[in-house]
Amino acid sequence: MATITASLTLTSPDLTTDSLNLSTSATFTKAGTSTGLTSCTGVARKTTTATTQYVLFDGDAFGNGAHKVYIKNTSSTAAEYVTIEINSEQMGKLYAGDWCLFPWEANADTNDIKLAPSVSTTFTVEYALFYE
């Protein structure tokens, strides 16, 4: 059984009137159990040179489960972003250096995770899928 633990630390000396220092972690488990997730696509990168939307993960290929998705915009140019869409709904945009980790239940072919870069120059995202 695999054990995957994600940790997040948020710090800021001046966001609030007091210094902010939050830390949390979670172990990735299968839906409704304490059994660890057993599969991972591995961490990979995709480089594009067009603003055309593409499918990063096909919803039909992974089925139901407590999947976790990691995506990072590797750009260092502040104005460059990637738009994330699931089931024709825009989740949001990741700007240069931004990353996200979110749960995903890929129970239908309409639940594809799609990305669209903001630029037609060389643009790279880093990604991984932890799944059942």
**Domain range annotation of the chain:** 39-131
Q: Would you say 132 and 31 are in contact if contact means Cβ atoms under 8 Å apart?
A: yes
Q: Which of 104, 130, 126, 101 is nearest to 24 (CA)?
A: 101
> Given pLDDT bands bounded at 50, 70 and 90, which one contains residue 106?
confident
**Element holding 124 (H helix, E strand):** strand 123-131
**Which pLDDT score, from 0 to 100, does residue 1 have?**
53
Asked whether the CA dihedral 10, 81, 45, 121 is positive or negative, the reply is: negative
User: Between vectors from CA 131 to CA 128 and to CA 132, what angle results, nearest 5°?
Assistant: 165
pLDDT one-digit tens code per residue, 24-68: 999 999 999 999 998 999 999 999 999 999 999 999 998 889 999
- CATH superfamily, region 39-131: Jelly Rolls (2.60.120.10)
Write out the two tokens for 106: 């890929």
Q: pTM of the entire structure?
A: 0.92
pLDDT tens digits, 58-104 = 999 988 899 999 999 999 999 999 999 999 999 999 999 999 999 99
